[in-house]
Amino acid sequence: MATPTPMEALQKEHERLLKRLKGAQSLKHVQSTIDLLQSARDTIAADPGQTVLTMAKLQNPIKSSFDSVNDNLKEVHSGLNKYTKALDKSAFCPLQLFKDRPLPSTNDHDALSEQDTLINRAIAMHLLREGQFSVAASFLSEISERKSLQSDPETSTTDPMASSPGSANNILDEVPSSEIRKEFASMYYILHEMKENNNLLPAIEWSRENREALEARGSNLEFELCRLQFVWIFHGKSHDQSIRNREDAIAYARREFQGFMPRYLREVQQLIGAMAFCPNLRGSPYASIFNNISAWDDVAQFFTREFCSLLGLSADSPLYVATTAGAIALPTLLKLQTIMKAKRTEWTSENELPVEISLPPSYLFHSIFVCPVSKEQATDENPPMMMPCGHVIAEESLRRLGKGNRFKCPYCPSESHPRDARKIFL
Amino acid sequence: MAAELTSVQLNPESHYILEQPLLRLPQELARRNFKTVQRVVEREKEYVIPALLDAANGSITRTQTPDQTLAALDAMIARMQGLKRKMEGLQEEERRIQDQSRKRIQHLQALDQIPSLADVKYDQWSRVRLDRLLVDHMLRSGHAESAKQLATEREIEDLVDIGVFTQCQRIVKSLRQGDTKDALQWCGENKAALKKSQHNLEFELRLQQYIEMVRSPDQSKKLEAILHARKYLIPYRDAQGREVMKAAGLLVYTQRTRTSFPPERWTYLSSLFVKTHHELLSLPSQPLLHIALSGGLSALKTPLCHSAYSSPSSNSQSTNTSVCPICSTELNELARKMPYAHHSKSYVEPDAIVLPNGRVYGKARLLEISKNLGAVDEGKVKDPTTGQVYDESEMKKVYIM
């Protein structure tokens, strides 16, 4: 913390400005001007004979009090200027760069301005999934109001170039708002019960209703929920670990765990086995199952993920993930844009960004295959191909290397024919 | 490992790129507010000082009775009191603006305390940012009610500029309804700043007024139009010669108003106004959300996101940790035209195996999924994407470099 960060420096400068503004006396000087005028008026009213003298004596004080007001304003002005300079200095890169050409995109123009409908749809869905139901409702109704305005040819969106005909016409159909709202409302209800009231039953009920879909995903959500319910019953509300609680837990296990039996045999055995260690569970090998502080959060997260996945949605708001990733990527893209502008070049490949943007690993959602020979990313047109030795290269590279004959794998000594290679799916 | 560390390190300064208007706008407003203070003080000074001198002279030369002097003083006092009231209002405004600036600096300063992009605090900060971007977008597209509601619910009123955009949208609306009054008033308030602008908003507005007068079936409006042109259009003769000539021609060829100056001109005017307005306040011309989003869509997009072969993680039937945001319904169409991210290294699950159908999975994960799946016998694995069942021995190691 030796050197202040740019924002600290800016904050200091702003504090100075605030102090200066607080100390500003201009109003006081205006008031004293009024007082001067008033007392002159009173003097003259009391004794009209004093008029000449009073008026003569009034000239300079009034002038000087106006001067004081102006001096004061100058002071404020220089404070504002200093702060502006600090703002200029503090690495606030001007957004001017975006003016001519916003950001890399395959289109010549701000690719998104023509997609207002899609953006609005994404926003509406974001609001719904974040549980902002009332904001979402007003947003959708404002959009439909606008839509009815738009059928009037005289009006259009802020940018007349941006509104393609009929673009806003079906947003309401595209956001099945009432359905999604219902889904998310029930998700929030279940989460609320879980987090606030330690009530897992609504979640368990939901997972049973969707058992088939969950099982098809290979999800063990239902079991995780029931296991936590078992632990919860065992601990009891007061965490007293009384005999009664243990009996309740065992009764619960007997009732509910039947269905899990073949698949989760080991886990169920652990739970029941742990009972033997009671009341000294902390010292048992099962302590982690019973005293896991994050268990509730983990299960809540797991539930959210599964719930959204069944709706075909990602667990975290895509709008959130994408804007965050965008903000992280921005410096790189900006630099790129500057270079592109200076060189007056276009993208080498218009399908792919020319630079790598390093995002945190959690922003990687797909497997990536980069051909070790051509260094190109695999696409539908140029898929990864696995040679019999198990090494993988892109199809184009395979064609180029093999030229229809047997060839040596670039990674190992084994030789194969291109037709022996198999397309794989990541 | 080192690369991984740098990729999660948070660099506050790189985050300021998107935050330019956050601090610039209040500063611009503060500057204007100050200019107004200066102007009103100057105006009263120019009135009071000569008036005072006149009154003094009048009393010396006895051309003024004491009662007249008193009246003159009363008038001065009244004006000064008016000045004081105005200044109090402006000072209040100044306080409000600076308080906003302070809170915004605080908001940005919070980043200094967050070391990593993976930090929960960054997540919270970034959510606030998204809310700000959403409000900005809503305000710009004229969804003021939703914007206000969102700002209130998220308690970010001081971090967004509802007032500025509401005023802007009000003028836009009046222009769309064919009314130049509000826009002209705005031009008047910003005369000095507009001189530097390259757009001639005021001329365009005056021209529009003229067009409407000529267009009117009421013949008396014609004369009005000529007077209007003389007063407001002729001064622009040098800069806007062609337009002025074209306008003059209208007087003869009235029927041409539709073709030379079609009614869509109002739409043009409203967008010209927005452009001028944003430039004057150094606001970016496009919503910040677009800037962030278009960068993000590309940074996240992979060739698989729009692949014909449904990738495991985009498939709701599959059990990969989470659905990819680009594959998710909300953004998938939006990202279709964007370039995908550049990668120089392959990234696959550890210990990758390939199934006879060509699908690649991490071995441990596939076994785990298969165990959890119902109806898969011991020693079998089930492809979570296609549902095909294979023998464990059919898993083949695949080497991806």
Q: DSSP string covering B307-364, please?
A: -SS--GGG-TTS-SSS--TTTSHHHHHHHTTSPEEE-SS-B--SSEEE-TTSBEEEHH
Q: B105-108 contacts: CB < 8 A, separation 24 or more?
A: B105/A7, B105/A10, B105/A11, B105/A14, B105/B23, B106/A11, B107/B22, B107/B159, B108/A7, B108/B12, B108/B15, B108/B16, B108/B19, B108/B22, B108/B23
Please check whether residues B98 and B147 belong to one and the same domain: yes
Q: Which of B347, B305, B324, B298 is nearest to A349 (CA)?
A: B298
**Tens digit of pLDDT for each residue in A366-424?**
888 999 999 999 998 999 999 999 999 999 999 999 888 899 999 999 999 999 999 99
Report residue B356 CA to chain centroid gap: 52
Please check whether residues A294 and A192 belong to one and the same domain: yes
Residue A110 burial (C-beta neighbours within 10 Å; 0-12, 13-18, 19+): buried
List the structure tokens of B86.
């105005």
Please check whether residues B190 and B215 belong to one and the same domain: yes
Q: Which of A413, A409, A415, A414 is nearest to A392 (CA)?
A: A409
Q: Does A227 have pLDDT greater than 50?
A: yes
Question: Is B274 within a domain?
Answer: yes
What residue type is assigned to position A276 of the chain? Answer: A
Which band of pLDDT confidence, cut at 50, 70 and 90, is reported for residue A319?
very high
Question: Is A165 within a domain?
Answer: no
How many domains is chain B partitioned into structurally? 4
**Which of A62, A369, A423 has the CB atom closest to B48's CB atom?**
A62
Please check whether residues B330 and B360 belong to one and the same domain: no
Q: Tell me whether residues B322 and A31 touch, CB distance under 8 A.
A: no
**B47 shares contact with chain A (CB less than 8 Å):** no
Burial A13-42 (b: 16+ CB within 10 A, else e): bbeebbebbeebebbebbbbbbebbbebbe
Q: Tell me whether residues A425 and B94 touch, CB distance under 8 A.
A: no
Phi–psi pair at B347, nearest 5 degrees: -140, 110
Pick from A89, A117, A145: which residue ends a domain? A89
Identify each DSSP E strand in A213-336 by its residue range. none
Phi–psi pair at A392, nearest 5 degrees: -125, 135
Q: What does DSSP say about strands B396-397 and A392-394: parallel, antiparallel, or unpaired?
A: unpaired
Please check whether residues B266 and B137 belong to one and the same domain: no
Rounded to the nearest 5 degrees, what angle is found at the Cα of B204, between the Cα atoms of B202 and B205? 65
- CA count, 13 A, side-chain hemisphere, B181: 3
Question: Is A35 within a domain?
Answer: yes
**Which of B52, B172, B397 has the CB atom closest to A390's CB atom?**
B397
Residue A82 burial (C-beta neighbours within 10 Å; 0-12, 13-18, 19+): middle
Please check whether residues B47 and B117 belong to one and the same domain: yes
**Tens digit of pLDDT for each residue in A191-213?**
999 988 889 999 999 999 998 88
Torsion of CA A275, A276, A280, A282, to 10 degrees: -60
Please check whether residues B139 and B205 belong to one and the same domain: no
Percent of residues, chain A, with pLDDT higher than 90? 32
**Tokens 């205006």 -> residue:** A30
Please check whether residues B127 and B206 belong to one and the same domain: no
Question: Is B289 within a domain?
Answer: no
Gap between the Cα atoms of B46 and B272, Å rounded: 36
Please check whether residues B100 and B243 belong to one and the same domain: no
Q: Are B355 and B390 a contacting pair, CB within 8 Å?
A: yes
**Tokens 């989003």 -> residue:** B293
Which residues in chain B are closer than 8 Å to A106, comparing Cβ atoms? 337-339
Please check whether residues B158 and B13 belong to one and the same domain: yes
Please check whether residues B50 and B192 belong to one and the same domain: no
Which band of pLDDT confidence, cut at 50, 70 and 90, is reported for residue B99?
very high
- Compute the Cα dihedral for B45, B47, B53, B55 and give only its sign: negative
Q: Which pLDDT belongs to residue A165? A: 38
Q: Tell me whether residues A11 and B105 touch, CB distance under 8 A.
A: yes
**A110 shares contact with chain B (CB less than 8 Å):** yes
* Mutation to test the B interface, candidates A66, A365, A381, A414, most B Cβ within 10 Å: A365
Which residues in chain A are closer than 8 Å to B377, comparing Cβ atoms? none
Gap between the Cα atoms of B71 and B73, Å rounded: 5
Gap between the Cα atoms of A377 and A379, Å rounded: 6
Domain of residue A66, residue span: 6-89
Please check whether residues A261 and A373 belong to one and the same domain: no
Torsion of CA A77, A79, A85, A89, to 10 degrees: -160
**Tens digit of pLDDT for each residue in B235-290?**
887 777 788 888 777 777 766 666 767 778 888 999 899 999 988 888 888 888 98
- Compute the Cα dihedral for A369, A370, A372, A374 and give only its sign: positive
Q: Helix, strand, or coil here: B273?
A: helix
**Tens digit of pLDDT for each residue in B111-121?**
999 988 988 89
Q: Which of residues 233-252 of A touch B (CB under 8 A)?
A: none
Gap between the Cα atoms of B309 and B360, Å rounded: 13
Please check whether residues A210 and A281 belong to one and the same domain: yes
Q: What does DSSP say about strands A384-386 and A392-394: parallel, antiparallel, or unpaired?
A: antiparallel
Question: Is B172 within a domain?
Answer: no
How many domains is chain A partitioned into structurally? 3
Please check whether residues B225 and B194 belong to one and the same domain: yes
Question: Is B1 within a domain?
Answer: no
Q: Are A391 and A409 a contacting pair, CB within 8 Å?
A: yes
Question: Is A128 within a domain?
Answer: no
Q: Which of residues 364-393 of B touch A (CB under 8 A)?
A: 368-374, 382, 384-385, 387
Q: Tell me whether residues A323 and B106 touch, CB distance under 8 A.
A: no
Q: Are A247 and A255 a contacting pair, CB within 8 Å?
A: no
List the structure tokens of A175.
């956001």
**Which of B73, B84, B325 has the CB atom closest to A322's CB atom?**
B325
Please check whether residues B198 and B321 belong to one and the same domain: no
Which band of pLDDT confidence, cut at 50, 70 and 90, is reported for residue A239?
low
ipTM of the complex: 0.85
Please check whether residues A288 and A388 belong to one and the same domain: no
Pick from B162, B197, B221: which residue ends a domain? B162
Question: Is B294 within a domain?
Answer: no
Q: B362 - beta bridge partners?
A: B352
Cα radius of gyration rounded to whole Å, chain B: 33
Domain of residue B233, residue span: 185-280
Other Cβ atoms within 10 Å of B363 Cβ, number? 16
Other Cβ atoms within 10 Å of A366 Cβ, number? 23
**B78 shares contact with chain A (CB less than 8 Å):** no
Mean pLDDT of chain A: 81
Q: Are A132 and A138 a contacting pair, CB within 8 Å?
A: no
Longest dimension (CA), chain A: 123
List the structure tokens of A251.
């009764």
- Min Cα distance A411 → chain B (Å) is 9
Residue by residue, DSSP assigns A356-382 as E----GGG--S-B-B-TTT-PBP-SSS
**B95 shares contact with chain A (CB less than 8 Å):** yes
**Tens digit of pLDDT for each residue in A86-125?**
888 765 555 444 443 444 433 344 556 668 888 998 999 8
Question: Is B388 within a domain?
Answer: yes
* Mutation to test the A interface, candidates B146, B277, B378, most A Cβ within 10 Å: B146
Least confident of A266-280, A314-328, A336-350, B141-155: A336-350
Q: Which of B27, B38, B153 is nearest to B98 (CA)?
A: B27
Please check whether residues A293 and A370 belong to one and the same domain: no
**Segment holding A352, helix H or strand E:** strand A352-356
Report residue A196 CA to chain centroid gap: 24
Which band of pLDDT confidence, cut at 50, 70 and 90, is reported for residue A42?
very high
Gap between the Cα atoms of A247 and A244, Å rounded: 5
Question: Is A142 within a domain?
Answer: no
Question: Is B379 within a domain?
Answer: yes
Q: Are B118 and A360 a contacting pair, CB within 8 Å?
A: yes
Pick from B162, B196, B228: which residue ends a domain? B162
First-to-last alpha carbon distance for chain A, in angstroms, is 46
List the structure tokens of B375.
């109806």
Question: Is B26 within a domain?
Answer: yes
Q: Tell me whether residues B296 and A323 touch, CB distance under 8 A.
A: yes
